A and B are shown apart, each in its own frame.
Chain A
Amino acid sequence: MTTTALVQSLYVFVLAGFVGFLVITRVPALLHTPLMSATNAISAISLVGSLVAAGADRGRTATVLGFVAVTSATINVVGGFLITDRMLKMFRRDPKAGPEERGRGR
């Protein structure tokens, strides 16, 4: 990796962090637990790197480390998205609430 590549990645990192900051400050405290489990599942995207390490046949060490990494990341992907969905499924509106209360977009 060259320094140019590092700088380009830095651009992406800073801009993505900025987008993340803008979006996530708007998530209500109501959903902070699902937010954390969701970002946890999303950051298990390191699965992508693990797949290459496990499958590129670069010697036994890399393959074994890659295999453990694929397993760990998959646990977070599968478990993370499932538990987030399980939580979000529980958040329900009050069916009795009047129209003005229904409009409380939070």
Chain B
Amino acid sequence: MTRDLLIQASYLASSVLFVLGLRSLTRPDSARRGMHLAAIGMLVAVVGTLLHREIVDFRWIVAGLTLGSLIGYPMGMWVPMTAMPQRIAISHMFGALAATLVGIAEFETLGRGASVGHAQMAALGFEVLFGSLTITGSLMAFLKLQELLPGAPVTFRGQNLVSLALFGAGVILLALLVGNPGQPLAFHSMAAVGLAFGVSLVLPIGGADMPVVISLLNSYAGLASAATGFAIGNNVLVIAGALDGASGFILSIVMSKAMNRSFTNVLFGAFGTPQVAAGRSAAGLAVRAITPEDAAIQLAYARKVIVVPGYGLAVSQAQHQIRELAGLVEKNGGDVIYAIHPVAGRMPGHMNVLLAEADVPYDRLREMEEVNPEFGSADLVLVIGANDVVNPAAKHDPKSPIYGMPILEVEQAKNVLVLKRSMNPGFAGIENELFYMPQTSMLFGDAKQSLQRLIAEVRLA
């Protein structure tokens, strides 16, 4: 009795510590301490569980904990910040894998379903169905982000039909099982269908949509954990799973809004395939190219500079150079802030992490709503490797594919300097009229090399 009470107390304590830990993430200065609390919560729950009367054999537990730590340590300490999206995608897979296997083990233990009640079967079914589709879905997302699979959408005729059929089959099997839980074949088929559905769901989604996909998978992994809690009657799992599910869901909404896309459009739209009628044509317009010398003079005398970093900056690993350039501008008495679009990186908040890694103080990073009124008073806006998120067509051209997407209003600035590899349009093949505006100058070349030349010239100026 006391032992059970102790176990329950440890679960309650860890639930409270988890909520406190997440709450600390509302402020960057308290975040670290809060996450230490959450880690302690995890330790408390594990120690509490080990008191469990049913646990009689510790050999496999110790082996699993050891092996997991050996793999987890490098995944925590050595993965570079640019690889964060694929790192998170693969960890959604591990989370879902754990939940699914616990579900299958529970099913096997209870007489291969024979002694599972209807309500428990519903929970187990959700756990295994959601878990298995998250396993393969996350694996596909990982392979795409790691560029082991093509980042472009992989499509074939009738793809959405296949996905729909798989989804339908999964739901029907789940319903059958709830009606009569003692059907091992149906249970295993449901897991297989879930695995296949995960592949067919994520394979057709393009690399640019990955922020939404990762967030959705985050939510699914959480729901699978929560379902585990339902199935084995454990509240701390229900609570932690609900927190994770809510977080993933909120982030998917934030990302979808920032891209002006609906969930259905992301999941079944196969964006990027036939993008016809790419807004206004650029025929007859000319861009103004600028030399690094002239650009450096603008930078050296600017009082207020806003940097707009895009994915191109991360690709060429130029975060440290931009920090160095900003340091020079500040030394000349200028002020530099950074405008971060919600989808600037490959996952929610990615660009903030990349800039923080390059020692940019977080009070210099501004969110879109906060920075948009500032562009009008900026002397110079430096756009590096960003394209669609600064395209004014999103505001006024209903024919543009990105019409309605919230953008950074760079076109309001007095002077705009765009660092860009070439005049090739962005991933959606959309012309950007910002590049043709009279206040815009273009500095062509690799972002890192261009920045290095600017740094050298500003030093001389």
Contact = CB atoms under 8 A, between A and B. Distances in A.
B349 A20 contact: no
A42 B21 contact: yes
Contacts of A33: 84, 88, 345, 347-350, 352-353
Given A49-B237, A79-B91, A83-B79, A91 B356 contact: yes
A29 B246 CA distance: 16
B38 A78 contact: no
Contacts of A9: 123, 229-230, 233, 235, 238
Given A13-B226, A20-B242, A29-B352, A74 B72 contact: yes
B359 interface: yes
B367 interface: yes
Interface in B56-99: 56-58, 60-61, 63-65, 67-69, 71-77, 79, 81, 84, 87-88, 91-92, 94-95, 97-99
A41 B77 CA distance: 14
B411 interface: no
Contacts of B31: 31, 34, 88, 91
Contact of A94 (B42, B57, B218, B363): B363
A63 B215 CA distance: 32
Interface stretch (B103-111, B147-155, B373-381, B430-438): B103-111
Interface string A27-38: 111111111111
B352 A41 contact: no
Nearest to A47: B46
Contact of A81 (B39, B88, B230): B39
B42 A42 contact: yes
Contact of B55 (A55, A72, A89): A55
Contacts of A14: 242
Contacts of B231: 1
B194 interface: no
A38 B42 contact: no
Contacts of A105: 27
Given A3-B119, A34-B349, A73-B68, A45 B26 contact: no
B28 interface: yes
Contacts of A83: 75-77, 79, 84, 87
Most chain B Cβ neighbours within 10 Å, of A54, A66, A105: A54
A16 B367 contact: no
Most chain B Cβ neighbours within 10 Å, of A29, A93, A95: A29
Contact of A51 (B38, B41, B49, B94): B49
B52 interface: yes
A43 B240 contact: yes
B428 interface: no
B454 interface: no
B239 A70 contact: no
B105 A66 contact: yes
Nearest to B341: A29
B254 A50 contact: no
Interface in B348-372: 348-350, 352-353, 356-357, 359, 361-365, 367
Given A34-B349, A52-B55, A97 B361 contact: yes
B238 A16 contact: yes
B76 A78 contact: yes
Most chain A Cβ neighbours within 10 Å, of B69, B74, B94: B94
Contact of A56 (B41, B54, B229, B364): B54
Given A73-B95, A81-B35, A91-B28, A28 B222 contact: no
Contact of A38 (B14, B15, B35, B364): B35
A36 B25 CA distance: 11
Given A66-B101, A81-B42, A101-B363, A55 B60 contact: yes
A6 B251 CA distance: 28
A92 B87 CA distance: 23
A103 B76 CA distance: 32
Contacts of B105: 53, 58, 61-62, 65-66, 69
Given A23-B23, A53-B105, 7 more contacts: A38-B22, A40-B92, A55-B57, A81-B35, A81-B42, A83-B79, A91-B31
Q: Which 8 A-B pairs have the closest CB atoms?
A: A74-B68, A82-B76, A70-B64, A32-B349, A78-B72, A20-B246, A94-B361, A43-B244
Interface of B: 11, 14-15, 18-19, 21-23, 25-29, 31-32, 35-36, 38-39, 41-42, 45-46, 49-50, 52, 54-58, 60-61, 63-65, 67-69, 71-77, 79, 81, 84, 87-88, 91-92, 94-95, 97-99, 101-102, 104-106, 108-109, 117, 119-120, 122-123, 214-215, 218, 221-222, 224-226, 228-248, 250-251, 254, 330, 340, 342, 345, 347-350, 352-353, 356-357, 359, 361-365, 367
Interface of A: 1-3, 5-6, 9-10, 12-14, 16-17, 19-21, 23-59, 61-63, 65-97, 101-102, 104-106
